[in-house]
């Protein structure tokens, strides 16, 4: 077993932070005379560099080379890595598990992670001379035997470990869901249609209805799962390498069905005919190696059954990863090889027969916890933000309001927007995109033009908002999209949002939604307006939010029979639209949406004339009629423009029900300035 890695003198964010003093302190050597850096690998979430080191004192020299692994320099990729928790997992693996497991792992000199900002640093042993495998070409029988024996060395020390089974960091919720896969599959099949065999296409279509069940079921043996144990993540040593095989890239490590790694490797790493001829033999070598290291209680036939069940892991990875990562020619080749091999593996092993072999209850929709209501430590990205949204609309649709306080610590600014809207009446807006950040720990904001307080009276139950502002009235709300001024008017409001449904946490990002009922008073000059029993919604979001990187449609509505609706359609460049949300019938459980269809007609002035939505399940078809607008023109730090025509709306279902709600569209204006 190796010793635990040190945490290091400081986190290295980028190569500019790296110097000889840090390397000397980290490697505990004599002074570093010089070092050279060369990039290795092509990771999207991280970057790796080989360091060639020269020492001033040969008697106090350390390793001649080492590998430095850092967070991606790209803000979007880095934000994804932080959001998925992959940086923290890899660091904790090398700190806590690698020293105990040993086996085919590179020695780790330092493992550091900045939990507040998301950066990480790994300094690892350079195992050269060694060659990475090629997932497209596949590996040889000899390499497969080695990989399966070494996989057993990784699994055996912690198989069925009760402490690790209860650890939070190894059991993070998966961002993959049946809803996500059902939305990605049609675009996947369309993109690669001529390259997918008919029987493999049919298998994918049959698998999707079982994805939730397949993800949820965990049959023993349970253990440490690499999560991406494939040929590309294995370094095969040449003469002079410290070991015959080194397993790298532990960012997807987790706890689950131990047979998943074995099925994923053999299904995707071998050409189909070689796998068919040698699969059972290689699996039994793996099982024998487990037993040789003291694993008891899991017969080969039982493990083989679970191996067969896990054959769908590669099918799932091919569908999801290919549609969410940046598309490349090599990537297409790899994903098509994965799909063909894993689909054929599932067919050859009759894995479909095990898909409904479960009596597990349906997993509940994710929910926020009370601590989520507080502010969060900011990341270092320019567009990292944290926002609280509040909206309300009278049941008759004649009066609505919304408030957003958005904190941008790395822009040293707070975006504050408050709107009061009435059908056929001027839109009232209080907008400040350069307000000072509130004092730490609070959401109280004061400027020469406004004073606002936002107080969580009871976590996940009640939020109070009070505002006094010098606002602007707009007879033509589209003037806001043109950047024109309005007429001065005093605005004040005191409103309370009380929870009136089941709070819902997103799976794909750090955000949650809370259906509410809203009551209180609004003053426009001397006019007093009352809201009582008004349906509303509030949400809280934190992380990198680039308004100018994608379009979207967001909605929250309340129907006349008490049903609550929330639906979002994300429109990412070069990817199929993704939907998320829920339907909550009165006094019934929340149902997560699997697909959101959305379209809108944009008028010449940039406002929305009408829109439609389809929500599945339960197959609701909705017509949306904007009643009044609270639009914004959003300008990025680098000059990009987006139109944000938020509207209070009348919602009509094709089944005869109707209701009211707020709908927003984020529409980027290509070429605008």
Under the banding of pLDDT at 50, 70 and 90, the label for residue 174 is confident
Integer angstrom CA distances of residue 264 from 174, 236, 341, 480, 481: 17, 18, 10, 53, 51
What is the per-residue pLDDT for 391? Answer: 98
What values do phi and psi take at 189, rounded to 5? -65, -35
Residue by residue, DSSP assigns 18-79 as --HHHHHHHHT-S-EEEEEEEEE---SSEEEEEEEEEES-GGG---SEEEEEEE-SSHHHHH
Given a contact cutoff of 8 angstroms between Cβ atoms, the answer to whether 46 and 64 are in contact is no
Given a contact cutoff of 8 angstroms between Cβ atoms, the answer to whether 18 and 119 are in contact is no
- Given a cut of 90, whether residue 53 has pLDDT beyond it is yes
Closest C-alpha to 15, from 66, 73, 56: 73
Euclidean distance between CA atoms 99 and 426, whole angstroms: 67
Instruction: Give the model confidence (pLDDT) of 85-105 as tens digits.
Output: 889 999 999 999 999 999 999
Domain 371-668 belongs to what topology?
A: AttH-like fold (2.40.370)
Euclidean distance between CA atoms 40 and 414, whole angstroms: 40
Overall pTM surpassing 0.85 (yes/no): no
| Token digits of residue 509 | 């990002």
What is the per-residue pLDDT for 566? Answer: 98
Given a contact cutoff of 8 angstroms between Cβ atoms, the answer to whether 427 and 480 are in contact is yes
Given a contact cutoff of 8 angstroms between Cβ atoms, the answer to whether 147 and 245 are in contact is yes
Given a contact cutoff of 8 angstroms between Cβ atoms, the answer to whether 75 and 49 are in contact is no
In sequence order, what are the residues at sequence separation of 6 or more whose Cβ sits closer than 8 angstroms to the Cβ of residue 499? 460, 461, 462, 514, 515, 516
- Given a cut of 70, whether residue 3 has pLDDT beyond it is no
- Given a cut of 80, whether residue 79 has pLDDT beyond it is no
| Token digits of residue 392 | 């309300």
Residue by residue, DSSP assigns 258-312 as THHHHHHHHHHHS-HHHHHHHHHHHHHHHHHHHHHTT--S--HHHHHHHHHHTTH
- Given a cut of 60, whether residue 672 has pLDDT beyond it is no
Closest C-alpha to 161, from 295, 264, 290, 285: 295
* Domain residue ranges of the chain, discontinuous segments joined by +: 1-126, 130-360, 371-668
Closest C-alpha to 318, from 349, 344, 356: 344
Higher pLDDT, 322 or 557: 557
- Given a cut of 70, whether residue 42 has pLDDT beyond it is no
Closest C-alpha to 235, from 87, 40, 72, 47: 40
3-state secondary structure string across 208-231: HHHHHHHHHCCCCCEEEECCCCCH
| Token digits of residue 522 | 């609004």
CB-count burial class (<10 Å; 0-12, 13-18, 19+) for 564: buried
Of all residues in the chain, the percent with pLDDT exceeding 90 is 81
What is the per-residue pLDDT for 671? Answer: 64
What is the per-residue pLDDT for 363? Answer: 66
Closest C-alpha to 229, from 351, 314, 306: 314
Architecture of the domain delimited by 1-126 = 2-Layer Sandwich (3.30)
Instruction: Give the model confidence (pLDDT) of 434-459 as tens digits.
Output: 999 999 879 999 999 999 999 999 99
User: Across residues 401-422, what is the average pLDDT?
Assistant: 97
Residue by residue, DSSP assigns 463-489 as EEEEEEEEEEEESSGGGGTTT---EEE
CB-count burial class (<10 Å; 0-12, 13-18, 19+) for 58: exposed
Q: Is 368 left (phi over 0), alpha (psi -120 to 50) or beta?
A: beta
Under the banding of pLDDT at 50, 70 and 90, the label for residue 356 is confident
Given a contact cutoff of 8 angstroms between Cβ atoms, the answer to whether 426 and 399 are in contact is no
Name the CA radius of gyration of the chain, rounded: 28
User: Across residues 333-349, what is the average pLDDT?
Assistant: 97
- Given a cut of 80, whether residue 66 has pLDDT beyond it is yes
| Token digits of residue 544 | 């990198």
Domain 130-360 belongs to what topology?
A: Aminoglycoside 3'-phosphotransferase; Chain: A, domain 2 (3.90.1200)
Euclidean distance between CA atoms 23 and 9, whole angstroms: 9
User: Across residues 51-76, what is the average pLDDT?
Assistant: 92
User: Across residues 293-304, what is the average pLDDT?
Assistant: 95
Under the banding of pLDDT at 50, 70 and 90, the label for residue 2 is low
User: Across residues 558-575, what is the average pLDDT?
Assistant: 93
CB-count burial class (<10 Å; 0-12, 13-18, 19+) for 168: exposed
User: Across residues 139-166, what is the average pLDDT?
Assistant: 96
CB-count burial class (<10 Å; 0-12, 13-18, 19+) for 541: middle
What is the per-residue pLDDT for 6? Answer: 62
Instruction: Give the model confidence (pLDDT) of 607-646 as tens digits.
Output: 999 999 999 999 999 999 999 999 999 999 989 999 999 9
What is the per-residue pLDDT for 362? Answer: 62
Euclidean distance between CA atoms 301 and 306, whole angstroms: 9
Euclidean distance between CA atoms 105 and 158, whole angstroms: 15
Euclidean distance between CA atoms 635 and 411, whole angstroms: 13
Lowest mean pLDDT among 174-178, 388-392, 415-419: 174-178
What is the per-residue pLDDT for 508? Answer: 80
Q: Which residue has the tokens 């699996």?
A: 283
Residue by residue, DSSP assigns 333-377 as HHHHHHHHHHHHHHHHTTGGGGTT---PPPPPPP---GGGGS---
Please give the mean pLDDT across all residues of the chain: 93
Euclidean distance between CA atoms 43 and 30, whole angstroms: 32
Q: Is 227 left (phi over 0), alpha (psi -120 to 50) or beta?
A: left
Of all residues in the chain, the percent with pLDDT exceeding 70 is 97
- Given a cut of 70, whether residue 673 has pLDDT beyond it is no
Given a contact cutoff of 8 angstroms between Cβ atoms, the answer to whether 593 and 615 are in contact is yes
Q: How many CB atoms lie within 10 A of CB 420?
A: 26
Percent of the chain that is helix, strand, coil (3-state, to 5): 30, 35, 35
Under the banding of pLDDT at 50, 70 and 90, the label for residue 374 is very high
């Amino acid at each position: 077993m190796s010793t635990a890695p040190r945490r290091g003198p400081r986190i290295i964010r980028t190569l500019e932070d790296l110097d000889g003093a840090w390397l000397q302190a980290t490697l505990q050597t004599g002074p570093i005379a010089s070092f050279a850096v060369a990039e290795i690998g092509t990771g999207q979430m991280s970057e790796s560099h080989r360091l060639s080191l020269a020492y001033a004192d040969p008697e106090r020299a350390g390793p001649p080379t080492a590998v430095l692994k850092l967070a991606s320099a790209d803000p979007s990729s880095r934000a994804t890595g932080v959001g998925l928790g992959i940086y923290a997992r890899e660091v904790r693996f090398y700190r806590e598990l690698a020293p105990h497991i040993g086996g085919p792992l590179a020695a780790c000199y330092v493992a550091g992670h900045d939990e507040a900002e998301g950066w990480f640093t790994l300094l690892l042993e350079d195992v050269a001379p060694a060659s990475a495998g090629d997932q497209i070409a596949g590996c040889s029988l000899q390499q497969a035997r080695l990989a399966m024996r070494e996989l057993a060395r990784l699994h055996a020390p912690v198989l069925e470990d009760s402490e690790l089974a209860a650890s939070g960091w190894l059991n993070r919720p998966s961002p993959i869901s049946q809803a996500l896969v059902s939305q990605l599959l049609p675009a996947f099949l369309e993109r690669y249609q001529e390259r997918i065999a008919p029987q493999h296409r049919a298998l994918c279509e049959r698998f999707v209805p079982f994805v939730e069940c397949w993800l949820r079921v965990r049959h023993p043996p349970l253990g440490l799962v690499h999560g991406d144990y494939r040929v590309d993540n294995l370094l095969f040593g040449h003469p002079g390498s410290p070991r015959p095989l080194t397993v790298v890239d532990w960012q997807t490590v987790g706890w689950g069905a131990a047979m998943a790694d074995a099925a994923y490797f053999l299904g995707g790493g071998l050409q189909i005919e070689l796998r068919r001829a040698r699969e059972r033999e290689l699996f039994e070598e793996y099982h024998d190696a487990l037993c040789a290291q003291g694993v008891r209680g899991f017969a080969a036939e039982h493990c083989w059954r679970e191996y067969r069940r896990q054959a769908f892991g590669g099918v799932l990875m091919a569908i999801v990863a290919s549609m969410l990562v940046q598309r490349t020619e090599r990537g297409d080749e790899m994903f098509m090889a994965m799909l063909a091999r894993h689909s054929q593996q599932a067919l050859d092993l009759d894995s479909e027969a095990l898909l409904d072999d479960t009596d597990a209850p349906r997993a509940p929709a994710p929910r926020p916890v009370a601590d989520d209501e507080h502010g969060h430590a900011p990341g270092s990205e320019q567009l990292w933000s944290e926002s609280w949204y509040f909206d309300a609309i009278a049941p008759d649709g004649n009066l609505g309001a919304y408030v957003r306080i958005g904190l941008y610590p790395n822009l040293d600014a707070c975006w504050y927007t408050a709107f009061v809207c009435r059908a056929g009446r001027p839109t009232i807006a209080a907008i400040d995109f350069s307000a000072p950040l509130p004092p730490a720990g609070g959401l109280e904001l004061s400027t020469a033009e406004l004073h606002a307080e936002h107080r969580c009276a009871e976590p996940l139950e009640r939020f109070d908002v009070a505002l006094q502002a010098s606002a602007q009235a707009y007879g033509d709300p589209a003037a806001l999209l043109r950047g024109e001024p309005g007429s001065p008017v005093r605005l004040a409001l005191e409103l309370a949002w009380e929870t009136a449904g089941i709070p819902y946490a997103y799976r794909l990002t750090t955000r949650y939604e809370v259906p509410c009922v809203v009551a209180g008073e609004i003053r426009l000059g001397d006019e007093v307006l009352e809201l009582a029993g008004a349906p509303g919604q509030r949400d809280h979001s934190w992380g990198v939010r680039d308004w100018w990187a994608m379009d979207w449609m967001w909605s929250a509505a309340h129907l006349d029979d008490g049903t609550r609706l929330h639906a979002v359609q994300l429109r990412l460049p070069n990817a199929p639209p993704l939907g998320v949300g829920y339907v909550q019938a009165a006094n019934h459980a929340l149902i997560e949406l699997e697909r959101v269809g959305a379209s809108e007609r944009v008028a010449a002035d940039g406002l929305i004339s009408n829109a439609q939505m389809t929500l599945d399940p339960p197959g609701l078809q909705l017509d949306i009629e904007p009643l009044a607008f609270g639009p914004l023109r959003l300008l990025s730090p680098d000059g990009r423009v987006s139109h944000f025509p938020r509207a209070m709306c009348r919602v009509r279902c094709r089944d005869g029900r109707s209701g009211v709600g707020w709908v927003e569209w984020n529409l980027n204006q290509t070429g605008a300035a």
